[in-house]
Amino acid sequence: MGNKWTAVAMILMISVVLTGCTVGADVVRAVQVVTRAFQTTEIVEESHRVQPGSSLEIRTHNGDVVVKSGGDREVHVRAIKRAFGAQDEIDRTEIVVTTGAITTIETEPLEERSRVSVDYEITVPPDVTLNHVQTSNGLIRVEDVTGDVVAITSNGSIHLEGIDGYVRATTSNGSIHVVDCTGVRSSVQTSNGSIHVEVEEIEGNLEIRAGNGSITAYLSPWLEAEVKMTVSNGRVVADHNGLVIGQSSQKQVTGQIGDQARHKILIRTSNGTITVRDIQE
C-alpha cells in the first residue's frame, strides 16, 4: 500500500517539458511547456520585426506587464502562462501579436474569470512609441521607453520611470511611482495605495488622487500652476520653495507656482499625508 501511494506521488511531481521553435521572415517563436503536479506553465517567446516609428499597445487581464527598451529592430515578447488544474484553459489562452502602424499584444480570450494568468516581459525598439498598457490583476512596470504612456490596472502597482513622454496612471489597489518622465497629463490615481510622483511638466490640468494612502508630489518650479491640496484624515505638508501659499489649514492648502496660473493641480487623499516638495534635480 505504501509503495502504491509513493508511486502516485512521484507521478504527480513529474515535469514534462515540450519545446518548439518556428522561424519566419518577421517572427521567431519558441514555446516551452512544463507540467508539475496540478500546475501547468507555458512559456512563449516571440520576436517580431516592426516598422520604425510605429506604436505599441498591450492588453491583458490576469498578470504582470514589464516593458523596457531594447537595442534592435524587433519587439521581443516573453509570456509566461500559468494555470492550476486548467489545461483546457491554458490551451485556449493565446498570445496574439498584430504588427503594423500600431502593434498590439493581447491575451485572448480576454476572460475576467479565467484561471490562467499571463505575465509579460516585453522589450521595445528605441524608435517605437509605447501608447497603452493595461491589465486587471497584476503590476505594470515601464522603464526607459518613448511615448505618451497610459498605464491602467485594477489590482497592482504601477511604476513608470525614464519615459520620454507624458504619462497617465490609474489603479484601484496598489501604489504608483512616477519618476524621471517628460511630464504627467490628466491624472495619477489609486483607490488604495501611496503615490510618489515627479511632475516636470503637465498638459492641461492634473489630478493626483489617492483614496487611502499618502501622496508625495515633487513639482517643478517652472510649472506656473494653481495648486490645491486637500485631505480628509491626515495633514498637508507644503515644503516647496516656489509655492506661494494663498490659504492654509490643517486639511487644505492652496497656492500658486509661477507668475501665472496656466494650469490647475488638484492633490487629494481621504486617509494619509500630502507632501509637496521641489522636484529633485
Within a 10 A sphere around the Cβ of 255, how many other Cβ atoms?
Answer: 20
- Using CA atoms, how far apart are residues 35 and 40, in angstroms rounded to an integer? 4
What is the DSSP annotation of 33-94? Answer: EEEETTEEEEEEEEEEE--TT-EEEEE-SBS-EEEEE-SSSEEEEEEEEEEES-HHHHHH-E
- Tell the burial category of 138 from Cβ atoms under 10 Å away from its Cβ (0-12, 13-18, 19+): buried
DSSP 8-state class, residue 157 = -
Least confident segment among 35-39, 93-97, 227-231, 238-242: 35-39
What's the pLDDT tens digit per position in 142-163? 999 999 999 999 999 999 999 9
pLDDT, mean of residues 17-24: 45
Q: Please state whether beta strands 150-152 and 129-134 pair in parallel, antiparallel, or not at all (unpaired).
A: parallel
Residue 6: its H or E element: helix 2-12
* Per-residue pLDDT at 168: 98
What are the CA-CA distances from residue 187 to residues 72, 77, 97, 141, 178 (Å)? Answer: 33, 29, 29, 17, 12
Q: In the chain, what percentage of residues exceed pLDDT 90?
A: 70
Q: What is the mean pLDDT of residues 46-61?
A: 94
Q: Where is average pLDDT lowest: 51-55, 83-87, 239-243, 244-248?
A: 83-87
pLDDT averaged over every residue in the chain: 87
pLDDT at 115: 79
- Contact between 109 and 92 under an 8 Å Cβ cutoff? The reply is yes
Bridge partners (DSSP) listed for residue 137: 62, 155
Strand 252-257 vs strand 215-219: parallel, antiparallel, or unpaired?
A: unpaired
